Amino acid sequence: MKKIKAKISIIGVGLLGGSLALALKKRGVRELVGWNHRASSRKKAAKLLPVAPSFEKAVEGAEVVLLCSHSGSMTPVLQQMSPLIGKNTLIMDVSSVKGEVVKEAKAIPGMSRHFVPCHPMAGKEKSGPANADPNLYQGKYVFITPLQGNPGPLVQRAVQFWKKVGALPVLVEAKTHDRGVALTSHLPHLLASAMILLYAQNEKNSPFFRKAVGSGFRDFTRIAAGNPTMWRDIVEMNAGEIRSFLSRYRRQLGELERNLKKSKSRYWFSFFEKAREAREGLG
C-alpha cells in the first residue's frame, strides 16, 4: 500500500477523531498528530497517535486538518487556526449540523479557500478514544456540504480523502442535510432519551419495570447513551428542523391515542402492516 506522506492533524481525538487516526494509520499515513484541549483527553489520545505539544504545533505544516470536536466549537477553532494554516491546507469537520457551521465559516475571511464542511454518518453510543474503531467509516456515507467559494479541486481533495478511509462521500446542500438528519438522527435521539427517562421515573416506584425490559426496549433506547455535550450542541443548532418533525410526530401520536380508545382492529392491522413494510424497505 502506498504511504501517505502529508502531515494530517486531528483536532479532537474522541470516538470519531480516534477512529480516523486508526483508519489513517492502517492506510500508511506517516505523519499523523492529534490535539485535545483538555490535558486529560490528550493523555487518552496519546494511546492512539502522537499528540502535539500545543494546538499551534498540531496545525503547523499540516496539509489536512480534521476538526473532530463538538459542533458548537467549530467557529472558535476555525478562527483560532486561520492565521496558522498553510496556503494549501485542507480543513474538514465531522459535525452533525451543517447549516450553522456553513453560515459562520463563510464569515471568516479566506476560510472558503480551505474549509470543506463534512459529516460522516458513522458513530457509536459510546464516546471517547477508547472506543475508536479503524473500520468505523467503512461503507458509511459522508455528506459534504461545500461553502460558496470552495475551489473545485479543494472539494475533490475532500472527496478523495474520505474514499481513502473507506467511506462513501456524497455532495449535498447544507439545508437538505440538516433536514434529513433531523428526521433520521436528531429526532430519534430525543425520542429515545425521553423514553428512557419515562422508564427511569416509573422504575423508581416499581422494580418490576426492570424485569420487563426486553431486547426491543434496549435497542430503542440504546442511542440515549450518547455524549450529552455533543447532543446539546446538535439540538440547539438544528432546533428548527427538529421542531418541524417533532410536531408532525406529535400529531401521529395523537392519532394513535385516539384510536386506542376504540375497538378498531382493522386500523391497527393496517398501521402495523404499513410500518412493517416501511421498515423492511429500509433494509
Same domain, 200 and 274: yes
Q: Give the global pTM.
A: 0.91
Last-in-domain residue among 172, 194, 212: 172
Crossing angle, helix 265-282 and helix 239-260, to 10 degrees? Answer: 150
Claim to verify: residue 16 and residue 87 sit in the same structural domain: yes
Instruction: Give the mean model confidence (pLDDT) for residues 134-145.
Output: 96
Residue 146: is its pLDDT beyond 80? yes
Structural domain of 113: 4-172
Calculate mean pLDDT across residues 111-126.
92
What single-letter amino acid sits at 224? A
Instruction: Looking at the structure, tell me whether residues 33 and 139 fall in a common domain.
Output: yes
> Both 93 and 160 in a single domain?
yes
We report the CATH number of the domain holding residue 20 as: 3.40.50.720
Q: How far is CA 265 from the centre of its chain?
A: 41
Residues 129, 93, single domain; the answer is yes
Kindly state whether residues 108 and 202 are assigned to the same domain: no
Q: State the CATH number of the domain containing residue 243.
A: 1.10.3660.10
CA 168, CA 80: separation in Å to the nearest integer?
A: 30
Q: Could you tell me if 166 and 82 lie in one domain?
A: yes
Residue type, 68: C
Closest by alpha carbon to 141, among 180, 193, 191?
A: 180
DSSP string, 74-137: HHHHHHHHTTT--TT-EEEE--S--HHHHHHHHTSTTGGGTEE-EEES---SS-SGGG--TTTT
How many structural domains is the chain composed of? 2
Same domain, yes or no: 129 and 200: no
H or E segment and range at residue 170 = strand 168-171
Q: 172, 206, 235: which is the final residue of a domain?
A: 172
pLDDT grade for 127, boundaries at 50, 70 and 90: confident
Contact between residue 90 and residue 63 where contact means Cβ atoms under 8 Å apart: yes
Stretch 161-165: mean pLDDT, rounded? 95
pLDDT at residue number 283: 80
Q: Which amino acid is at 7?
A: K
Q: Are 66 and 49 in contact (CB under 8 A)?
A: no
pLDDT tens digits, one per residue of 171-224? 999 999 999 999 999 999 999 999 999 999 999 999 899 999 999 999 999 999
- Nearest Cα neighbor of 93 from 25, 40, 20, 164 is 20
What are the residue ranges of helices labelled H in the chain?
15-26, 39-45, 55-59, 74-81, 99-106, 152-164, 174-181, 187-205, 208-211, 215-221, 228-237, 239-260, 265-282
Stretch (H or E) spanning 10: strand 4-11
- Mean pLDDT for all residues in the chain: 93
Confidence of residue 4 (pLDDT cuts 50, 70, 90): low
Whether 122 and 26 map to the same domain: the answer is: yes
pLDDT in tens, 16-38: 999 999 999 998 888 999 999 88
Q: Which of 129, 146, 172 is the last residue of a domain?
A: 172
Q: Closest Cα partner for 58 from 99, 91, 25? A: 91
**pLDDT recorded at residue 136:** 95
Q: Is pLDDT of 74 > 90? A: no
Q: Which secondary structure element, helix H or strand E, spans residue 62, and what is its range?
A: none
* Whether residue 106 has pLDDT greater than 50: yes
Split at pLDDT 50, 70, 90, the class of 1 is very low
pLDDT classification of 126: cutoffs 50, 70, 90: confident
